[in-house]
Amino acid sequence: MPYTDDTKASASRAQAETFPLDSILCGESLDLLQKLPAGVADLVLTSPPYFHQRDYGPGIGNEATQEEYIATLLKVFGECLRILKRTGSLVFNIGDKYERQSLLLVPYRFAIAALTQFPVRLVNNITWVKLNPTPRHFQRRLVSSSEPFFHFVVSNKYQYFPGDFLRQPSLPRSRRRGRGIGHRYFQLIEASTLTAEQKAKARSALEAAIAEVQKGVISDFRMKIRGLHSVPFGGREGGRNIRLERDGFTIIRMHGERLKRDVIESPVESLKGCPHRAVFPEALAKEFIRLLTHPGDVVVDPFLGSGTTAVAAKKLGRHYLGIDINPDYCVYARDRVSRATRQTPLLDAGAW
Ligand SMILES: C[S@@+](CC[C@H](N)C(=O)[O-])C[C@H]1O[C@@H](n2cnc3c(N)ncnc32)[C@H](O)[C@@H]1O
């Protein structure tokens, strides 16, 4: 049946009878997930407790070995898969751990085990680059500042709305206005071994490209100057090589959107008065919710912590279900979610 808002709304109403929509349940995620009906969630977005990383009290992460930890997590993963629609996605964020000065590669062992045990595909391994990592100084290793988010699906019919995903940060003001665009190329033209005539042609071609960026005709460009830049590679670039040889320069124009990359750069957040020490950024949760769901869809987080996934879902007009074993976190999350309000679509688009 083709998708319409009406079919979606009636599906949501039907679910509401059996599925605790828009609630936060306190308890063991495996037990509670097992009580949920199959095929109800559009997105499971979660960050389980990392192996031996923090003390959340009783719960996952305290297993004696990483093998046990992964086995426990895979049981939860299996239940998440069961409650997922065929068009849904699972996004798991897991951090790594050092033991005896060696990384254990826990996230990747988990991802490999999930791919081995379940009929899932790994669409992307998205790297969250923390812009403000904990400033711990190590003598003989670099500061860890990234974590993976694994995006799994069960079929190639998964919902996917990449429109706004990973918008690049806005350009510096001078560049947006056009001042400074391509400026360095003027200097390079002068410094090159091009003839006076070629230099004049290069300058006017450069001015034309700059004007096109300023008018929004193209999004960006690169200039290659003979003797200064590497020769472009074959294919369509064949003509460029001829121009580079003949004119002494070539301009590569870039049209349309920037490429959407599998890297998210975002600072670690800390919420005032929050009892939870490992909150993931709301902006990051919103990116995944926008990418993989439609308004009215159902987003589940079986390790809700401070409530970030539910807050992001509510603000974006999605239904949510959160689970956490820690009663204090549940109280905090319920209060945090109750204070969140639906954003206007205009604000949704500008949140990153
Ligand atoms: C990494 S934190 C999640 C943080 C969350 N993404 C946020 O932004 O606040 C993992 C959470 O899992 C919870 N937890 C641990 N074991 C659990 C279990 N067996 N069932 C449900 N929740 C569990 C912990 O209490 C903790 O809040």
Confidence of residue 343 (pLDDT cuts 50, 70, 90): confident
Cβ–ligand 1 distance for 93 under 6 Å, the answer no
To test ligand 1's pocket by mutation, which of 30, 268, 303 has the most ligand atoms within 8 angstroms of CB? 303
Distance 305 CA to ligand 1 centre (A): 5
The whole-number pLDDT of residue 218 equals 81
Cβ–ligand 1 distance for 308 under 6 Å, the answer yes
Domain boundaries along the sequence of the chain: 5-167+260-349, 173-254
Average of per-residue pLDDT across 236-265 = 81
| Between 24 and 172, residue with greater pLDDT | 24
Distance 274 CA to ligand 1 centre (A): 14
CATH superfamily for 5-167+260-349 is Vaccinia Virus protein VP39 (3.40.50.150)
Q: In angstroms, how far is the first alpha carbon of the chain from the final one?
A: 33
Q: What is the pLDDT of residues 325-338, one digit of tens each?
A: 999 999 999 999 99
- Kind and range of the H or E element at 47? none
To test ligand 1's pocket by mutation, which of 325, 334, 336, 337 has the most ligand atoms within 8 angstroms of CB? 325
Average of per-residue pLDDT across 233-241 = 62
Angle at 240 between CA 239 and CA 242, to 5 degrees: 65
* pLDDT > 70? residue 9: no
> Quick one: what percent of the chain has pLDDT higher than 70?
84
Cβ–ligand 1 distance for 336 under 6 Å, the answer no
Cβ–ligand 1 distance for 28 under 6 Å, the answer yes
Indicate which atom in ligand 1 lies nearest the CA of residue 28. Answer: 20
Cβ–ligand 1 distance for 331 under 6 Å, the answer no
Q: Give the pTM.
A: 0.76
The whole-number pLDDT of residue 2 equals 36
| Number of other CB atoms surrounding residue 263 within 10 Å | 11
What are the tokens at 163?
A: 């429109």
Q: For residue 68, what are the CA distances in angstroms to 38, 71, 80, 109, 149?
A: 26, 5, 19, 12, 21
Longest dimension (CA), the chain: 78
The whole-number pLDDT of residue 346 equals 53
Sign of CA dihedral 102, 107, 112, 114: positive
Residues 81 and 304: their CA atoms lie apart, in Å, by 17
The number of angstroms, rounded, from the C-alpha of 280 to the middle of its chain's C-alpha atoms is 12
- Kind and range of the H or E element at 282? helix 282-292
